[in-house]
């Protein structure tokens, strides 16, 4: 009885090994991707409004197995907002706005919820989750509605609004969290869609840190008056982006499917020869009689 059980376990193991070898005929080593989408900011200016701007980018991903890999991502995006679009009376009366262009580089670990095997119809779709760290830096000068922002004038006054000291642009570290889905169209090509939310270590994406007081003066017939405005106490600024794109799989082919374009494999030629010898009919019988 013990001998029969061991033989049965051996057969089951050999069957599983054969299936695993078949699944590993294609080794997915990574992918390149391009995408386009929309980005938005959450901060002190018009905090109740999502203003979307176009973004574009690409990535390289190193795949370590059927479930996990690391992605190096580059994204060019614009962040902007305007108090005039807000439904908050305080923000609407304040009337501040900004627009800045950024480059973003991030490294994330990406994890599939289900097995993903390019070219296999049973494993061609998966949702995924990613977390990592990124670095955001400004790509060109931008400001509160003017073409250039001088860092020499301290304080800066525009349209009777006295702005605080504004330091030179510097990079911002952030921590991205993303969720998305991927669908394999062919062995080499995929389509995907994802959303990425960034938690930054800065409150100056909009030049307006928490607690900073800005003074606006208004003149009237009886004299002048001043109004003080300050940023919210909501903490660090945040931003996110949604995007869709296409990616190209970097595959290495093993087994009988490994062949050079334009040349048939020896195994395929042998199968065709055997099939020709097994043909039935009058000509086949004549050939058999000669032998």
Q: Which of 121-125, 154-158, 193-197 has the lowest mean pLDDT?
A: 154-158
* pLDDT at 73 > cutoff 50: yes
Return mean pLDDT, the chain. Answer: 74
pLDDT of residue 165: 54
- With a pLDDT cut of 90, the percent of the chain lying above it is 35
pLDDT of residue 161: 56
State the average pLDDT over residues 232-257.
Answer: 82
Residue 236 binned pLDDT confidence (cut-offs 50, 70, 90): confident
DSSP characters over the chain = -HHHHHHHHHHHHHHHHHHHHHHTTEEEEEEEEEEEEEEEEESSSSTT----EEEEEEEEEEE-SSSEEEEEEEEEEEEEEEGGG-S-HHHHHH--EEEEEEEEEEEEEEEESS---TT-GGG-EEEEEEEEEEEEEE-S---SSSS---SSSSSEEETTEEE---PPP--EEEEEEEEEEEEESSSSEEEEEEEEEEEES-S-TTS--BT-EEEEEEEETTEEEEEEEEB-SS-S-EEEEEEEEEEEEEEEE-GGG---TT---HHHHHHHHHHHHT--SHHHHHHHHH-
Q: Which of 97-106, 192-201, 253-262 has the lowest mean pLDDT?
A: 253-262
Quick one: which of 64, 166, 180, 171 has its CA closest to 125?
A: 180
* pLDDT at 211 > cutoff 70: no
Pick one of 2.40.100.10, 2.40.160.20, 3.20.20.70, 3.40.630.10 as the CATH number of 23-144+169-206+235-279: 2.40.160.20
Residue 217 binned pLDDT confidence (cut-offs 50, 70, 90): low
State the average pLDDT over residues 141-160.
Answer: 41
| Annotated domain spans of the chain | 23-144+169-206+235-279
* pLDDT at 219 > cutoff 80: no
Residue 83 binned pLDDT confidence (cut-offs 50, 70, 90): confident
Residue labelled with tokens 């922002």: 149
pTM more than 0.75: no
Higher pLDDT, 145 or 30: 30
Residue labelled with tokens 């794109």: 245
Interval 8-64: pLDDT, tens = 555 545 444 444 444 446 778 899 999 999 999 988 888 888 889 999 999 999 999
pLDDT of residue 199: 94
State the average pLDDT over residues 258-277.
Answer: 52
Q: How many other CB atoms are found less than 10 A from the CB of residue 131?
A: 12
Compute CA distances 98 → 45, 58, 95, 170, 173, whole Å: 8, 26, 10, 17, 20
Q: Which of 152-156, 193-197, 203-207, 244-248 has the lowest mean pLDDT?
A: 152-156
pLDDT of residue 290: 45
Interval 193-208: pLDDT, tens = 999 999 999 888 877 7
Rounded Cα gap, residues 204 and 100, in angstroms: 11
Higher pLDDT, 4 or 137: 137
* pLDDT at 137 > cutoff 60: yes
């Amino acid at each position: 009885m013990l001998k029969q059980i061991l033989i049965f376990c051996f057969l089951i193991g050999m069957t599983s090994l054969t299936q695993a070898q078949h699944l590993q005929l294609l080794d997915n080593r990574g992918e390149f991707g391009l995408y386009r989408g929309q980005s938005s900011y959450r901060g002190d200016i018009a905090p109740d409004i999502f203003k979307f701007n176009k973004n574009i980018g690409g990535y390289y991903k190193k795949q370590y197995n059927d479930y996990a890999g690391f992605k190096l991502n580059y994204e060019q995006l614009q962040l902007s907002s305007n108090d005039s679009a807000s439904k908050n009376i305080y923000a609407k009366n304040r009337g501040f706005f900004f627009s800045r262009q950024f480059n973003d580089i991030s490294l994330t670990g990406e994890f599939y919820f289900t097995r993903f095997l390019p070219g296999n119809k049973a494993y061609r779709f998966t949702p995924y989750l990613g977390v990592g760290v990124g670095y955001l830096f400004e790509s060109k000068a931008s400001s509160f509605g003017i073409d250039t922002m001088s860092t020499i004038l301290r304080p800066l006054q525009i349209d009777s609004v006295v702005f605080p000291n504004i330091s030179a642009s510097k990079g911002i570290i952030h921590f991205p969290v993303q969720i998305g889905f991927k669908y394999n169209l062919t062995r080499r090509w995929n389509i995907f869609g994802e959303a990425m939310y960034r938690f930054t270590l800065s409150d100056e994406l909009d030049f307006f840190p928490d607690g900073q007081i800005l003074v606006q003066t208004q003149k009237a017939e009886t004299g002048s008056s001043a109004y003080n405005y300050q940023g919210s106490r909501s903490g660090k600024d945040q931003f996110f982006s949604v995007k869709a794109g296409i990616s190209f799989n970097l595959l290495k082919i093993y087994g009988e499917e490994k062949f050079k374009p334009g040349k048939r494999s020896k195994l395929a030629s042998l199968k065709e020869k055997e099939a020709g010898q097994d043909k039935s009919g009058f000509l086949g019988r004549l050939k058999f009689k000669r032998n």
